[in-house]
Amino acid sequence: MIKRTTKGVLNPTFVSILILVIVSLCLQFVQIQNKNLYLGYDWIFHYNRFYDAAQQIKEGNFQYFISMYGFSQSGRIINAVYGPMFAYFNGLLLLICGSWFKYQLFTNFLITFFSAVSMFFLLKKNEVRSLVSILLAIVYTTFNIVQGWLFNQTFNTWGAVILPIGILVATNFLKKDVSWKLTFLLAFVVTLSIQIHILTSLFLIVILGVFFLIGVWISSNKLNLMKSVIIAAIITIAMTANVWYPLIELNFENVMNPPFLSYDFDSSALQVSLFKLPAHITIIVFLLFILQFLFVLYLRVNLINRLATIFGLLFFLMATKVFPWNEILEKVPGISILQFPSRFLVVAIVFIVLGLGLSIEQLIYHKKKIYTNVMYILLIMIVTGGVTQHIIATENRLSTWNSETVISMDRTTILMEKDSSVLKNSFSPKASLDAPLKLFVKPTPDYVPLKNKKLITDANFHPYQEYRQTILDNNLNSRIEKSVENKKLILKWQSDNIEQQTLPIFVYHRTQLYLNGKLLDKKNIVTNNIGALIIDSKKGSNVLIVSYKSSPLFSYLFIVSVVSWIVFIGLSIRLFYRRTDYL
């Protein structure tokens, strides 16, 4: 028993993960020491989402669609179309942590650790030795594409956690063995990406599709491979029914204002220059690309390494101005949903790190001892450089926290308070979780229900401005008392006269409204351009009760999703105890 326990503790994989835990904790040192928060351009949006989910859990007032606590309690739909279950997961973490500082610190650790683990397994399962895999995994966690959640709360950073495992599945398509573990891992990673970040899932599906076609082409077991993928697709559809069906239903029944659409990709694409590194790319990232390019020229690399290098360079070019994005946009305007070509960089880096790991493994395995020593010295230098750059970046961002605005400002952010000490104190453990959300506001109009489709392309329509006037600067805000009871949002206010008023409440097709005890007929409901309710209030006390009646089909499909997850987890545990190696 003692021998078996000792063997388990000293298992190389266990030791590797323990090292990654320690490194991930160390990378949080600057924030732990200074007890500061890093608040970038997207924190207001996502922290409102998670606060709303946290309050639903805390008070037991679950409302899957409309926001009853976050986003100024405006009844707008966000979480239902943006990783709903992951929002509840973050809401639960927020409740457990109890403060925004602890929540940010813990989620920063999670994203650093799991990105390192996913990269480690991508390399290890492609036969890169443990030490090389550990070192490259550490380097990967120091990149801006991973630490974007720490500095700017950019949500595509969570994709940097998922992508290495997704690409691991893709490389398995090129191997001889096709088993149930491939089916389950494929279903799991695509489902997870859809539940967290749909754009990441689109990248992943394209990558998996290409590798699948190559795998079918070279496989001697084509039928089993195709069967495995089809079964995984069916499982994924079932487990993500809670995501794709609301998207379809909401967009079919409402005119949803799309997120920011860019029609000038050149302005946000990376500028490649011989004299200056583009944004998002450190000298370490640049060095990895150069090294892998040189290795591929020198070595006779295998198929996976060759494909990793090709895809890495292709996605890198797609992230830059070298790629003719604006010309493509003119012909296919639908791709404007990508917003920023620089988002392709994360895919490029994952592929290049994989290729570099395979190249280093090949050099160490086949060449003389001097190559081994040189490679390890080079890797240690790269790790040191990556960690150093990360620490410098965290210390530099302290200046923002210590500034008058406390956060990274943009032209749409509004401060309701000018005193920096008051702004900072709103994040203290003694303050309520919604305190900073009241002091820092942003008129982000994503997914609000527009009055008609023409507004989307109307140059004279300014949704940010209308959102600010209707929700943030509404004269009624100081007079309205808002509360949540029995899964309903309740607004109470006094009117001196019978008058027409625009309430800071959004109305979707399935939003139900009771004004002064009377159900408002959908045909008679009047809204402004961004879907805010316009009513004739009576003199004296007024009460508006807001709720959302989801369709029966959604309820059935939500149950399908939950049951599918339960069955999937049960079967996964059963296969695990049969010694099935998922990773």
Convert the pLDDT of each residue in 476-532 to its tens digit.
Answer: 999 999 999 999 999 999 998 888 999 999 999 999 999 999 999 998 899 999 999
Q: What is the rounded CA–CA span in Å between residue 316 and residue 92?
A: 36
> At 221, is the pLDDT very low, low, confident or very high (cuts 50, 70, 90)?
confident
Q: Which residues contact 82 (CB under 8 A, 6 or more apart)?
A: 49, 447
Longest dimension (CA), the chain: 90
Q: What is the mean pLDDT of residues 316-325?
A: 87
Q: What is the pLDDT of residue 3?
A: 47
Reply yes or no on whether the pLDDT at 396 is more than 90.
Answer: no
Q: What is the mean pLDDT of residues 362-367?
A: 83
Q: What is the pLDDT of residue 2?
A: 44
Q: What is the pLDDT of residue 277?
A: 53
Could you tell me which of 556, 2, 487 has the C-alpha nearest to residue 246? Answer: 556
Tokens of 332: 């296919």
Q: What is the rounded CA–CA span in Å between residue 524 and residue 530?
A: 17
- Which residues in 414-431 are b (16+ Cβ under 10 Å) and which e? ebeeeeeeebbebbeeee
Could you tell me which of 436, 433, 490 has the C-alpha nearest to residue 61? Answer: 490
Q: What is the rounded CA–CA span in Å between residue 311 and residue 21?
A: 30
Mean of pLDDT over the chain: 90
Q: What is the pLDDT of residue 397?
A: 85
When mean pLDDT is compared across 39-43, 54-58, 150-154, 330-334, the lowest value belongs to: 330-334
Percent of the chain exceeding pLDDT 90 equals 68
Per-residue pLDDT tens over the stretch 70-98: 999 999 999 999 999 999 999 999 999 99
Calculated CA dihedral for residues 80, 260, 42, 20, nearest 10 degrees: 80
Q: Are 35 and 101 in contact (CB under 8 A)?
A: yes
Reply yes or no on whether the pLDDT at 299 is more than 70.
Answer: yes
508: three-class secondary structure by DSSP: coil
Q: Are 124 and 168 in contact (CB under 8 A)?
A: no
Going along the chain from its start, the domains and CATH numbers come out as 475-548 (2.60.40)
Q: What length is written for the chain?
A: 583
Q: Are 86 and 195 in contact (CB under 8 A)?
A: yes
